[in-house]
Structure 1
Amino acid sequence: MANHAFADLVGDEQVFFTEYFNKKPMLRKNAVPGDPRDILSLRKLDQLVNLEVIRPPYIKVNLKGDGVPEQGYSRNVVVQGQTITDTVDPEKIYELYRAGATVTWCSLNHIVPEMRDFTRVISEKMAVRTDTVAFLTPSAKKGYPPHHDPVDLFIVQLEGSKHWKLWNPPTPRLGNNAQYTLEGLGEPEIEVSLQPGDVLYLPYGTPHAATAEGSGSLHLSIMMRPRMWRDLLRETLDDLVGADVFNEYPHIGEARAADVEAVFKEKIHELVARLESVDTSAELDRLADLGRHLPGSSKGNTFQAIADMDDMGPASRLRRGKAPLAFGEDDNGRTQLTVNGHKIAVPTPIAETLAALGPDASITASHVFPGVDELRSAKAAQGLTRLGVFELVPAG
């Protein structure tokens, strides 16, 4: 799958955040570069539905506005002598689709690595939990009645076309799911037939309705779960009340001591003081970083990294890793390091090499331990790399 940028979805980011974000829906025609099927295609969904491991609720089916019970499209399979219940039955899914049902693929970023990469682009920018849901709707069929969702949405049309009607979010904004009638909604703010590569943005609570056209429709909904001020403040409070000063166990029942209320007031004053001393810029950065690492967008390459470490030689190029590192004093030629909270002692020449290595600098493994032969230096570098003190610089 091609790499995509946040700007592919929103265009000019300043215009998006100023005029549309959290305010009103937005339409961008021909927004996605290249072939949208590279993101997700009918062929890929055929491959997925025929796996023996997909289970509800990763797939949901809706027929004539009603959800089909999971028993209507699932079966049991036996894996290594163990029965796995409620796996998706491909033929039953196909039968329901032929009958006019919409097939919804939930949280594809849990299953498809390419989807995970795609959602991470949005998570990095928006600092929220992000999930991808694919909607496969037969020709001329309505998937769901007019409704709104409690999440922000990017809609990316991938195959076929779909006719959309969107209305501005109501005032006051409603946080939960809700259904509407077309008569009650009036004239839409946007009415459009989405073609492959077109993108819609819907702020949370935006009423919308959609009907597939032509040969059926496949679109991707990228769901961004809003973090309200109350959510952010709760995370800040949770961090502050983790201090030792609040780690006491009072008795607050009917027989509580006379001074408990006074102590409670002291704790409240302490918490207020800590809130008032918060560095708001740094705290928002911390909260944003937390939002970028919520479930659904994690990544890693530990298996490959360990294999690369096993092949490390004197010529391997290294840079400082991400593990927190603190230096102790020299004690008879050995210096204590604290790595991720763990204490280790290394020859002082290695500690001096680490201390002199800037954040953007790199070094060959043969130079990590000055004064010894290349193989011994490389062996020491390998051990430190396993601890996260170093990381390998990618070739090229």
Structure 2
Amino acid sequence: MTRDFDWTIAPVSSEAFFRDSFEKKHLVIRRDDPGYYAGLLSLADIDWALTTLGLSVPEVNVTRADAEITAADFAYGNGFVDPVAATRLFADGATIILSNLQERLPKLADFCRALEKVFSARVQTNIYLTPAHSQGFKAHYDGHDVLVLQIEGTKEWRIYDTPVALPLADQGFDPHDVPIGDETDRFVLGPGDMVYVPRGLTHDAVSTDQTSLHITTGLMTRSWADLMVEVVRMLAHDDVAFREALPPGFTDEGYDSRAAQARFDALQKKLAAADLGPVLDAFRDDFIDTRLPRVHGQMQELVKMAGLSPASRLVARPNLIYRLMDVPGKDGAEDMVAVSCQGAVLSLPAYAKGPLAHALSGQVFTLADLPGDLDEEGRAVLIRRLLREGLVMFSD
């Protein structure tokens, strides 16, 4: 089974999601299929992670809406979690939260990588285990969009207003300053159901008469504001006018800002003339370079490599996020092709571009399927290199 974005939101299509819901309104999907998300996570996984992995704060947090719980209540002085104390608090009505469990569970890691490929953004998970008739947080909004997948039990959700549409990181929810508004929707999620909640939409959730386990999948997207800030930073590196000090005395009472306004207008014109290409490339490179390898079973692949033959069936690792680049040779050196993927750059002779692109395309192939002029031994050398780098694997 392919646990990707289309699977996550089925039967809604991705086209409909981005057209009608993304950054606009919440979306509830009910399936009457309790086992739909069962292969992604289970209560047994949480029990195993909490009691055997030696997790620490803030990987684990314990909270409840009607009482203050501090790390000292469930963790040792060195930060490591006391699983007995944490589960005791859970028995008394507290919610256990496991953050970034995708760094510990391969199936969650693969799921997040599949979503990252769709959103071109970092994806993280927070796992919420809530006892019956309990609430972890009061009404609030998040600073990032979330996909909530109900795994076990049931939880009642309440939706309120959007006091800040698509808030920035420094526009976090403050219960003292932000009114939650009137309730606009109420629904219960059962196992196999999901809800998409855009950032800024105020909400809360209470477990019903069953223990609830759900995954909150955070979409850490970049905004146009982020991009514009980076444009200014890049311009400032190349143009001294952006780096000059503000006028001395601009804080004085009665300061005449007309000259400063003219200077500001001139800088705005330079900003308006800036090219999108370099900053978009920088964002893309940063995203690709920081996607850590998801190469579960890599040792087994290397063992299998000894049996590589013309009949071996191979395929690219699922949901690879990569960039192919032509690298012209300098001073008589041969042209190269480079693939940036999983935090590394692999350089090969330019004539390997065709078979390289085919090997990374996602379709199952054999050595004979690779296009180009490489002979059989050359194709084997290429595939062995890709196997060692964790970019391709054997297709059983």
Question: How big is the shift at 1:352?
Answer: 8.7
Going from structure 1 to structure 2, the CA distance change for 1:38 and 1:178 (only over 3 Å counts) comes to: farther
Match of 2:5 in 1: 5
Aligned to 2:195: 200
Question: How far off is 1:104 after superposition?
Answer: 1.1
- For the 8 Å contact 1:164–1:193, the answer to whether it is kept is yes
Q: 2:172 aligns with which of 148, 173, 176?
A: 176
1:100 to partner: Cα distance: 0.9
Contact 1:127 1:291 (8 Å CA) reproduced: no
Question: After the TM superposition, which of the residue ranges 34-43 and 298-307 deviates more from structure 2?
Answer: 298-307
User: How many angstroms apart in 2 are the aligned matches of 1:129 and 1:156?
Assistant: 18
SS of 1:87's partner is coil
- Give the letter aligned to residue 185 of structure 1: G
- 8 Å CA contact 1:369, 1:380 repeated in 2: no
Structure 2 residues not aligned, in runs of 5+: 249-261, 317-321, 340-347, 360-365
What is the CA distance between 1:55 and its match in structure 2?
0.3
Matched, 1:155 2:153: no
**How far apart, in 1, do the equivalents of 2:243 and 2:99 lie?**
43
Partner residue in 2 for 1:74: 75
Q: Is the 8 A contact 1:36 1:158 kept in 2?
A: yes
Once the two structures are superposed, the pairs formed by residues 226-305 of structure 1 within 5 Å of their partners are 226-241=221-236, 273=270, 276-279=273-276, 282=277, 286=281, 289=284, 293=288, 298-301=292-295, 304=299
Aligned length: 355
Cα 1:66–1:283, aligned 2, differ >3 Å: closer, same or farther?
A: farther
Please report the TM-score for the alignment, with normalisation by the length of structure 1.
Answer: 0.70
CA RMSD of aligned residues (A): 4.8
CA shift for structure 1 position 87 = 1.4
Equivalent position SS for 1:8: helix
Q: In the alignment, which residue of structure 2 is the partner of 1:119?
A: 112
Q: Which region of structure 1 is more displaced relative to structure 2, 1-10 or 162-171? A: 1-10
Change in Cα spacing, 1:64 to 1:289, as seen in structure 2 (3 Å) is same
Counterpart Cα distance in 2 of 1:298 and 1:269:
42
Q: What's the CA shift for 1:194? A: 1.0
Deviation at 1:131, TM superposition (A): 1.4
Cα distance between partner residues in 2 of 1:250 and 1:26:
48
CA–CA separation in structure 1 for the residues paired with 2:373 and 2:138:
65
1:214 to 191, 205, 209: 209
Asked if structure 1 preserves the Cα contact closer than 8 Å seen for 2:97 and 2:128, the reply is yes
Aligned residue identity for 1:3: R
Q: Which amino acid aligns with 1:41?
A: S
Please say if 1:136 is aligned against 2:124. no
CA contact (8 A) 1:142 1:210 kept: yes
Matching residue's letter, 1:13: S
- Structure-1 residue corresponding to 2:358: 360
Per the alignment, in what secondary structure is the counterpart of residue 168 of structure 1?
A: coil
What is the rounded CA distance, in whole Å, between the counterparts of 2:283 and 2:162 in structure 1? 25
3-state SS, counterpart of residue 219 of structure 1: strand
Distance 1:164 1:75, change over 3 A: same
Match of 1:80 in 2: none
Whether the 8 Å contact between 1:29 and 1:198 is mirrored in structure 2 is: yes
